[in-house]
Amino acid sequence: MSIEDLREEVERLRRRERALVEENARLRAGRDMGGPAAAAGVGVGTARADLLFTAADKTRMAMIVTDPNLPDNPIVFANRAFLELSGYAAEELVGRNCRFLQGPGTDPAHVARIRDAIAARRDVVVELLNYRRDGSTFVNELYVSPVFGPHGELLFFFGSQLDLTRFREPERRAARRSASFHSLLEDGEAGFCIVEVRFDAEGRAEDCRFVEVNAAFERQSGLPAAAGRWMSDLEPGHGRHWVEAFGDVVMTGRDARFRGATSEFGRVFDMHAVRIGDQAQNRVAVLFEDAVARQEGEERREARDRDRMVERDLVWRTSRDLLVVCGLDGTCRAVNPAWTATLGWPAGSLVGTRIVELLHPDDRVAASRAFERLRTGRPLADLDVRFRTADGGHRWISWNAIPQGDRFHATGRDVTERRALEEQLRQSQKMEAVGQLTGGVAHDFNNLLTVIKSSTDLLKRPSLSEERKVRYVDAISDTVDRAARLTSQLLAFARRQALRPAVFDAAQSVATIADMVRTLTGARIRVETDTDAGTNAGGRGLPCHVDADPSQFDTALVNLVVNARDAMQGEGRLRISVRRADRIPALRAHPAVPGDFVAVSVSDTGSGIEADVLDRIFEPFFTTKGVGHGTGLGLSQVFGFAKQSGGDVAVDSEVGVGTTFTLFLPRSTHAETRDVAEEGPEPFADGHGTPVLVVEDNVEVGAFATQALMELGYHAAWVKDAKSALAEIEASGQRFEVVFSDVVMPGMNGVDLAREIRRRWPYLPVVLTSGYSHVLASEGTDGFPLLGKPYSVADLSRALRKALRERSSLTFG
């Protein structure tokens, strides 16, 4: 519906409203209470009044009736149109004053005008903001008129309401469009005008009048003050071809594009004419552009494009970086000459070649991930991979790439020399670390050997008392134990220690050793533990199970506690907490590692760690403590244990505030299986002649083990390698009841030997022994018992008897 149609509808409703009000004014007689008027509670009572309310209920204009003779002038009738407009039901309106339809947005002055008119018993017309039942608003034109009886008595007030909202919204939209249109007219750079064509009696276009023009039209056409003027006045004898073209657009309704010119300025324009409105209006909207200026603009753009192409071509040909355009499948579409200068490939020979064919085999997985990133529309930055040269070598290229449609553009820089320098620096740092490590090992072992050498020299003295002999032998034994612990810490740092993993609850382990921690720290350090990792949906505590070596976990925790105690100089607050973590944060130039982890944190209120020291704290033998106050291997053990267990260690420290070490270990989804320590067999028990096969390639250790077993009552046979061991077992008719084998041997190692024995002779137990083995570190013992070197005679006796006892339970159980 157009604006004109809406306005006609408003006038029609207003005329009908006035007719109804005039009919009300003529009602002066009768008290008949029948019909709709009676149902509405209105005391009019004439047949004409009944007719009036019947008509009011059917009209599209909203109407209400109020009774001034009742308290608070209540509503006694509302027609269906008003109920639909307000959203209320009839029973919600009848009996209430009209003021409840008003709200905070209603103008008090308008309400006052209505009250004054009612008090004066006269008509009033006012625009009023009312509120619907749902809280929305509408603006209505309210016409209130009093209705009198035959003797001049006031019977009721008749109110008709015309909803103006539905009429005004199209007007507002039209006004907004008009404002936007005029803004476009005034601000646009292109010329624009609206013309009205005049036709002669024979239907030929004879002239046109400019109805509206924008500033660009006057500026470009050279026709000043054109609005309201006729073409014949502005361009006499010259604008005829314009008028005819506009007339064709009016008559046919088809758009037209043509070229025209002005006489005064001699300018040529490209025009686009469109009929607007009804044909009877004879109006055409014209958008035109200066053809010469456009041509000049196009020539300038083309010149700029040529310049940019020359620049791009210059960069393409002279760049020392590798430039390439590739399809998303990695196929080269274009490469620049730098590929020849850097990698030696002839120009054009790589077009159609897939990038993956030029990559070092070890870098293809990283490149595949990079291609996937580009295929998903994400850019690539700083990817270092090795590219094959024409002579078969490889060079390191650092790539950046941006996807664009079905291809990507990439630039690569040769970083081979930089990588070589970085590798030299790393090697230098490694050598420095090795020097520090070997120096520390030599220092500590020289101290231990001094005690052993001195003790053995004293034992050789004649007439040495028995009490002193025992003292020197104990000193040797204690020193060997200290040397074994030192070796264990070194292996933990090197991640070459043979771990005995088991699934256990880290939170429970922390709670178990809390009392020991308090003993280590002393009374002046307050120890707090937080092992509550939260609860699951069922209200149960979240499990913090890890699959790691429980003994090494306890050792790592004790090392962190001792380190914290020393940092606080015996006084402060120490907190141990256990929680779940969904990632290991970025540490020591390594990216973050998402996953499911258990984080054990040890926090202290000590002196903190200087920033320049943080990078070295995990180095073996590095310590900030005074001489004689630490070996510098405690944190090395923690770091090595964490790495070998698939985790890491984070450090957060502030000088003067304190330090927090956080040990991250992969969380296990299995139930806890940590074994309870059981009592082992008695050491030094009689071997009862049990035949044992010793497999040891070291002559001194093999001879010692054989002699020790014979002293313990075993019958021992000794071979030096796995091949001889298998032959000896085969030749002996399976007389051996247990095999005691070293792990590191030439040829087949001890673990593989044990597996072969288990395959051939399932009930023949094997006990392994080793001081260090990369096999054990990477693969484990495969379930075979392990006796670590150095071992005592008591340890050897206990390990063999345990293996024999387990064999018996399997055979006869």
More confident residue, 78 or 21: 78
In the chain, which segments carry CATH 3.30.450.20? Answer: 3-169, 188-295, 319-414
pLDDT at position 695 over 90? yes
In the chain, which segments carry CATH 3.30.565.10? Answer: 502-666
Q: Rank 130-144, 261-275, 520-534, 667-681 by mean pLDDT and report only the highest.
A: 130-144
Average pLDDT over residues 253-280: 74
* Cβ pair 578, 530 in contact under 8 A: yes
pLDDT bucket at 662, cuts 50 / 70 / 90: very high
CATH superfamily of this structure's domain 502-666 = Histidine kinase-like ATPase, C-terminal domain (3.30.565.10)
* Each residue's pLDDT tens digit, 679-694: 444 555 567 788 999 9
* Each residue's pLDDT tens digit, 190-231: 788 888 999 988 888 989 998 888 888 777 776 777 888 888
pLDDT at site 489? 55
- CA atoms of 139 and 529, how far apart (whole Å): 69
- Read out DSSP for 524-587? TEEEEEE----B-TTSPBPP-EEEE-HHHHHHHHHHHHHHHHHHTTT-EEEEEEEEEEEEEPPB
In the chain, which segments carry CATH 1.10.287? Answer: 420-494
* Each residue's pLDDT tens digit, 354-384: 888 889 988 888 888 888 888 888 898 888 9
List the structure tokens of 710. 């014979």
pLDDT at site 707? 84
- H-helix segments, 121-200: 165-187
pLDDT at site 599? 92
CATH class belonging to 319-414: alpha beta
pLDDT at position 32 over 50? no
Q: Rank 172-181, 576-585, 681-690, 790-799 by mean pLDDT and report only the highest.
A: 576-585
pLDDT at position 622 over 70? no
Tell me which fold the domain 420-494 belongs to: Helix Hairpins (1.10.287)
Q: Give the burial string for 34-66 (b: 16+ CB within 10 Å, else e).
A: ebbbbebbbebbbeebbebbebbbebebbbbbb
* Cβ pair 504, 673 in contact under 8 A: yes
Q: What integer best gives the mean pLDDT of the chain? A: 76
Average pLDDT over residues 753-780: 77
DSSP letter assigned to residue 696: -
pLDDT at site 668? 84
Is the model's pTM score more than 0.85?
no
pLDDT at position 767 over 60? yes
Average pLDDT over residues 579-589: 85
185: helix, strand or coil: helix
Q: Other CB atoms closer than 10 Å to residue 511's CB: what's the count? A: 14
pLDDT bucket at 627, cuts 50 / 70 / 90: very low
Average pLDDT over residues 238-245: 77
- H-helix segments, 80-214: 80-86, 90-93, 108-120, 165-187
* Each residue's pLDDT tens digit, 420-430: 887 777 677 66
Of 43, 24, 48, 20, nearest to 33 by C-alpha is 43
Q: Rank 54-68, 312-326, 782-796 by mean pLDDT and report only the highest.
A: 312-326
pLDDT > 70 fraction of the chain, expressed in percent and rounded: 73
* Cβ pair 672, 620 in contact under 8 A: no
pLDDT at site 721? 92
CATH superfamily of this structure's domain 188-295 = PAS domain (3.30.450.20)
pLDDT at position 33 over 60? no
- CA atoms of 113 and 144, how far apart (whole Å): 11
pLDDT at site 464? 77
pLDDT at site 387? 92
pLDDT at site 810? 55
Average pLDDT over residues 302-310: 75
In CATH, the number for domain 3-169 is 3.30.450.20
Average pLDDT over residues 462-466: 78
- Residues 691-812, CATH architecture: 3-Layer(aba) Sandwich (3.40)
